Structure formats: C-alpha cells, structure tokens
C-alpha cells in the first residue's frame, strides 16, 4: 500500500480524513509545504546562532505568544525569545521544538499551548493526544537540560473561529492535568488564571480583544505573573537587558 504526502500530513496534523475544502484551507495556510511552520523563524534562528548571543528563555506557543511580542515588544528584551506561531497546535510545536527551542540552547522554555488543540485547528484531538505532546516536549527539554515552564491555557468562553464549540470545560480539564504534570516532573507551573479569568472560565473584560487574544492590558497582567518567576529562575539576565 502506498503512503503519500496527503497520508503523512493527515496523520501528522491529527486529521483522519480531509475533504477538498480542508485541503484548500491547508494550502492557503502554507501547511502543505511546511506543516509545522519550521520556516517561520529559520532565518532568525540562524542569525542568532551565528551571533553566539546567549538565550535565557524561549517562549513557545501559538498566537497568544506571538501576539505578546507584537503588543508588548519590550517584554522580550535580550535573552528572551518569542517563538509563537498563530493557529498552532501542540503537534506542530512538538515538530519544531528542536529547531525553535533546543538548537538555540536556552536555559529555559515557557510552553503555552492547548487553545488550538481544543479548537481542533489541525483536526480532531483528544485530551490524551495533547497530553502526549506536552510529555514529549517536556522530555526533550529535560534531556537537553532546559528548565520547563508550563503555562496555563488562557480562559475563553468561546472561540470566534469555532462558533458553538464548548471551551470552558476542556480548557479547565487540560489546565488541571498540566498543573499536576508540572508537579510530577518538577516543571514550573505558571498560572495566569488568577489575573485573566473572570471566575467563570472566561476572560476578564478589557483583557482580550475577542475573548481569546489578550490586549495590551492582558499582557501587562500576564507579566505580573511571569516576571517574578523569571527573576527567581534567571537572576542574572537583567544584567544583559
């Protein structure tokens, strides 16, 4: 039995069967040629490695991480790298973990993922599939002596691009698993829920532009959580800022 390119992509991206519309969507998003987004930061990574500049921490994630640099670029001072790609799921991040994290030789990695797993951006996913990807990324980081920071999935009452999808319960369930997994593996649990969640599993008013993606005020709130963690973990990084 032949195993073609479409079969590989369907398996890698978690979709069992894709119709014509789905393949058109993948083509428009560039996923047929570069399903993991390995080209997104390739040139930047090459320049960084050539410079020999030390890397304290890589922030790996989806649009919430990518938007952080766009809205609050000052947060990513020397030694802090943003490696977020809009729309990505954990299998895609796992595929680019070596290129966008390990090869940069950071001291730590901040992983914020799961929103798009719940949304099914690259095909239907079970919680166990997401958990396996978090396990794999964490294991790779530990193997290379990279400290793991696991971030909570930000709250969301709904996803504008997936109308009618239940979001609060699956996000809460994955966050509970992530918190327990962090304790089990010695990772640092970074819980943004206290500053983002309105108490119902939705974003607090004014902290997200669409109920999902943080505003400048949302990122400022998140910074109050992560900055003390980074000050303890990377006490000498300020000297290079």
Q: How many domains does the chain have?
A: 2
**Residues 1 and 55 grouped into a single domain:** no
Report the pLDDT value the prediction gives residue 216, as an integer from 0 to 100: 98
**Residues 81 and 156 grouped into a single domain:** yes
**Could you read off the pLDDT of 112-165 as tens digits, one per residue?**
999 999 999 999 999 999 999 999 999 999 999 999 999 999 999 999 999 999
- Dihedral (CA of 185, 212, 59, 50) sign: positive
Q: Which two tokens stand for residue 108?
A: 């730590």
**Residues 181 and 220 grouped into a single domain:** yes
Note whether 32 and 180 are within 8 A (CB): no
Report the pLDDT value the prediction gives residue 25, as an integer from 0 to 100: 58
C-alpha–C-alpha distance, residues 6 and 23, integer Å: 9
Report the pLDDT value the prediction gives residue 26, as an integer from 0 to 100: 53
**Residues 91 and 130 grouped into a single domain:** yes
**Residues 117 and 197 grouped into a single domain:** yes
Note whether 154 and 194 are within 8 A (CB): no
Give the mean model confidence (pLDDT) for residues 210-235.
97
**Residues 162 and 71 grouped into a single domain:** yes
The confidence band for 236, taking pLDDT boundaries of 50, 70 and 90, is confident
The confidence band for 33, taking pLDDT boundaries of 50, 70 and 90, is confident
C-alpha–C-alpha distance, residues 15 and 125, integer Å: 8
Comparing 16 with 201, the larger pLDDT belongs to: 201
Lowest-confidence pick of 23-27, 48-52, 81-85, 147-151: 23-27
> Which range marks the domain in which residue 10 is found?
1-35
**Residues 104 and 158 grouped into a single domain:** yes
């Amino acid at each position: 039995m032949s195993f073609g390119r479409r079969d590989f992509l369907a398996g890698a991206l978690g979709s069992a069967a894709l119709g014509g519309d789905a393949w058109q969507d993948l083509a428009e998003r560039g996923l047929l040629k570069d399903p993991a987004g390995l080209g997104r930061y390739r040139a930047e990574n090459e320049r960084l490695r050539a410079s020999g500049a030390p890397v304290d921490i890589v922030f790996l994630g989806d649009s919430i991480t990518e938007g952080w640099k766009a809205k609050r670029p000052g947060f990513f001072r020397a030694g802090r790298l943003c490696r977020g790609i809009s729309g990505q799921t954990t299998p895609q991040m796992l595929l680019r973990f070596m290129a966008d994290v390990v090869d940069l030789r950071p001291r730590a990695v901040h992983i914020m993922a799961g929103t798009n797993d719940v949304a099914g951006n690259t095909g239907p996913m079970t919680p166990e599939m997401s958990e396996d990807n978090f396990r794999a990324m964490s294991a790779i980081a530990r193997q290379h002596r990279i400290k793991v920071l696991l971030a909570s999935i930000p709250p969301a009452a709904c996803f504008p691009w997936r109308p009618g999808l239940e979001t609060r319960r699956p996000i809460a369930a994955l966050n509970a698993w992530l918190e327990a997994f962090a304790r089990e593996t010695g990772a640092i649990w970074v819980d943004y829920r206290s500053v983002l969640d309105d108490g119902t599993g939705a974003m607090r008013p004014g902290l997200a532009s669409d109920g999902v993606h943080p505003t400048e005020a949302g990122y400022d709130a998140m910074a109050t959580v992560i900055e003390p963690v980074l000050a303890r973990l990377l006490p000498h990084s300020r000297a290079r800022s």
